[in-house]
Structure 1
Amino acid sequence: MNLDALNQTELDGRTKGIPATAAPFPLADIGKKGWNVLAEDLPMPLMLLRRSALDHNAEVFNQYLTSHGLSLAPHGKTTMSPHIFAEQLGNGAWGMTAATVNQVQVMHHYGVKRVVLANQLIGKAHLAGIAALLNADPEFDFYTFLDSAAQLDNMLLHLAPHKPARPVKVLLEIGAKGGRTGLRDKDEALALAEKLAGVDASLVRFAGMATFEGVVPGIDKDPMLIEGFARNIVEIARALPASLYAGLDEFVLSGGGSSYFDIVADQFGTLELPIPVRVLLRSGCYVTNDSGSYKFAQDEAKADPRRSWKSDLEPALEAWAYVQSLPEPGLAFLTMGKRDIPYDGHLPVPFKRYRPGVGFLPVGTAEVFATNDQHAFVRIGADADWQVGDMIASGISHPCTAFDKWRFLPIVDDNYTVIDGVLTFF
């Protein structure tokens, strides 16, 4: 990936996270500024990335992939940051995953040559866009999910006028009853496979199977329900007619979000076919992890003897804000809200407190219990001697809805000096 032009993007005080007094400068120069978060050089609220945690997570996850013989196409919707895509690909990712055609276009524009659209591809404009990419770039390798005959007909209808240089590769998506998209049972999958085998292979070509296990009903109480779900997908793959994948170099079998990927990988690894099987995970949140839902899921995996994931990922995202008001005993307000932090899952958890001129101090008992557009409501205990002007760092839950609130995020070292930055495209 060539990010030279992106690194020349001009930033100034109109950009959230950049000091109001900053004259316009290219992103490439941000490390020369000498800015430090603890010195109050940057405005707050501020979402930042810790370099050491990013590096730790990449190393730990790569060790897991290598030791289990797995491939990775991380879900780019988590960050939508070409800078982070480049790091993931540089660390050995097989490709990237997207959720929308717009995301595919962003990835390709910045040099990603293999993309899995983990969603149904339908609609005239969307098919025209994908066909244009295939026709313009002979190196572009594209996959999408397929879960119905109606979708297949829609794809063929809108691809035909564009005569793509290579067929769109499709992965039959298997879903769960009561879950999200995807074929619900073996009979449906085999019927769609039969129809797919008879269509114009210059337009659409079978390439494998896929799923998203995170929507299996009941896994909040028993994650091992995914084991049977994944085993059923392997059985469907074994039942597919060999003629469907005749001539393929490999059979792609993909699953694995960021919470239960190990269960899926353990089951998918049992599939043997006449051609090589690539077990492809699409975990996206591993790169930053979090301090909420994903941390809870991984702690749960480590404590379960039935699970193969036993490693620790670190939260790389931190949301910093000032204590702006203490209007009542036991109540504090922070200068961050729904425009700045995720709130669709768990609310942020305060875990660091810094007082300018003094240093780090204990957080004490503190719970964010509500948010408005620009405020966080915090219930504090008697042991939390917060003052207006204190700087509070909170861990977030769900990175996917953290990055989308920031066009720019600084990367800091362990002393909170800004050494780099990333841009996002939402």
Structure 2
Amino acid sequence: MIPLAALPTPALLVDLDRLERNINAMAGAFAAAGVALRPHIKTSKCWEVARRQLAAGATGFTCSTAAEVAWLQGRGVADLLWAHIPIGPRKVAFVVDAIAQHGGGLTVSLDSVEAARPLSAAATAAGVTVPFVLEVDTGHARLGVQPPEAVATATAIAALPGLRLRGVLTHEGHVSALADRTALERAGAAAGTLLVGVADALRSAGFPVEMVSVGSTPGATSAPFVAGVTEGRPGTYVYFDANQTRLGSCTPDQCAQTVLARVASVQRPGRPIIDAGVKAMSSDAIAAAGAVGVLLNRPGVTFTEANEEHGFLHDTGAVPLVVGDLVRLVPNHACGTTNMWSHLYAVRGALAVERWEISARY
């Protein structure tokens, strides 16, 4: 065990009490509703977090990258969803090899015949069948077919050899643009309802639809609980972050991930400089409204600007910061911050009790 004051700074911390409460609360809510929980691993990329999620009832994981898929398959996780369209020969070959070597257990996302054809050819040549979900755009306007085109697209893809339709998927990321929580909840429920409608249309067309999958942390209190949705894929909930606090997804005392930093300079009154910048925090703002992160237990101090290795604070607090002071910063976006680090310190109280590796980074 190491006192926080003895750690090198900057350091990535995860509060174990908060982490475990967050994991258990989401798992309990999903279990009570009879909805499967398939967390997004990109938030933590950490086996110590993942195994706690599995122990709490997660049915498997959602992955963003081939590296995440390979890492979790190597850990023996049997049910993975790669929620990213496998484009290009390397990704196509990876999918086919992963299914061939692990006896299935991997489902991919597709939204066009053009993306499906190379995967079909590779799967057929290897003698395997690739399960897929059809991604549907329910408002985020990123990936996904428009709902009226879903049946035609699914029919065209499913006609290709070596592919098997399991269901439908959406990412209701557009709800993050809504600062009003009531409007956000309505938008999440609307996305779930729209996806269930697509699933029903596919069933009417003769397709067996077993998965109706929604996914986001801000939408995790609405979209998964629409009748007909079978699973949810929140990720950020394990740590939460400043963006989720602003969106009303959590309260500040639920934020488990922080960056520990020290004041390095106070040459300019009211503008302390710390030894943590965007390479420690990530620069992902989303709902940040001009902040790089939020300070814990430092009223009157804001984190307004950062270079690569320096952070610029604005200090109007009653007790000004001085050189050497420790501060803890809640990142705007936990997922982006995780990918900046190779390890974290698991913390209880004022002690770092374990060091955990972060895997499958770019």
Q: What is the TM-score of this pair, normalised by structure 2?
A: 0.91
- CA deviations 1:158-195 (Å, max 9, x no partner) are 3222222xx21111111146710101132x10101222
1:162 aligns with 2:102: no
Question: What secondary structure sits across from 1:240 in the alignment?
Answer: helix
Which has the larger helix fraction?
2
Secondary structure at 1:120 match in 2: coil
Question: Which residue of 120, 128, 141 maps to 2:105?
Answer: 141
- For residue 423 of structure 1, what is the aligned residue in structure 2? 358
Aligned pairs for 1:363-378 within 5 A: 363-378=298-313
Gaps of 5+ in 2: none
- Write the mapping of 1:21-60 to structure 2, written as runs, cut at 5 A: 34-38=1-5, 40=6, 42-60=7-25
User: What is the identity, as a one-letter code, of the residue corresponding to 2:281?
Assistant: I
Q: 1:190 aligns with which of 146, 151, 157?
A: 151
What's the counterpart of residue 236 of structure 1? 198
Query: Could you say which residue in structure 2 is the equivalent of 1:151?
Result: 115
Corresponding letter in the other structure for 1:239: A
The structure that has the greater radius of gyration is 1
Give the drift of 1:369: 0.8
CA distance in 2, matches of 1:350, 1:238: 47
Q: Structure 1 residues 44 and 312, CA, compared in 2 at 3 Å: closer, same or farther?
A: closer
Q: How many Å separate the matches in 1 of 2:143 and 2:212? A: 17
Identity among equivalent positions (%) equals 22
**CA offsets per residue over residues 226-280 of structure 1, 9 Å max, x none?**
333332222221112456435xxx711101211112221232xx23xxxxxx611
Aligned partner letter, 1:191: A
In the other structure, the counterpart of 2:238 is 287
Are residue 127 (structure 1) and residue 88 (structure 2) matched? Answer: no
Match of 2:295 in 1: 350
User: 1:391–1:190: structure 2 CA closer, same or farther, 3 Å change rule?
Assistant: same
* Alignment check: 8 A CA contact 2:218 2:249 kept: no
CA distance in 1, matches of 2:239, 2:139: 31
1:44 maps to a residue whose letter is T
Quick one: distance in 1 between partners of 2:107 and 2:253?
29
Q: Assess if the C-alpha contact under 8 Å between 1:342 and 1:402 holds in 2.
A: yes
Distance in 2, Cα, partners of 1:313 & 1:179: 33
User: Aligned pair in 2 of structure 1 residues 131, 178: CA closer, same or farther (>3 Å)?
Assistant: closer
Residues 59-78 of structure 1 aligned to structure 2 (within 5 Å): 59-78=24-43
Residues 100 and 422 of structure 1, relative CA distance in 2, 3 Å threshold: closer
SS in 2 for 1:344: coil
RMSD: 2.2
Aligned equivalent of 1:181, options 106, 131, 143? 143
Contact (CA 8 Å) 1:56, 1:313: kept in 2 or not?
Answer: no
- Cα drift, residue 343 of structure 1: 2.3
CA pair 212-130 structure 1, distance change in 2 beyond 3 A: same
Whether the 8 Å CA contact 1:289–1:313 is kept in 2: the answer is no
Could you tell me the TM-score, scaled by structure 1's length?
Answer: 0.78
Separation in structure 2 between the aligned mates of residue 217 and residue 333 of structure 1, nearest angstrom: 31
Aligned equivalents of 1:317, 1:192: Cα separation in 2: 41
Cα contact 1:123–1:158 (8 A) shared by 2: no
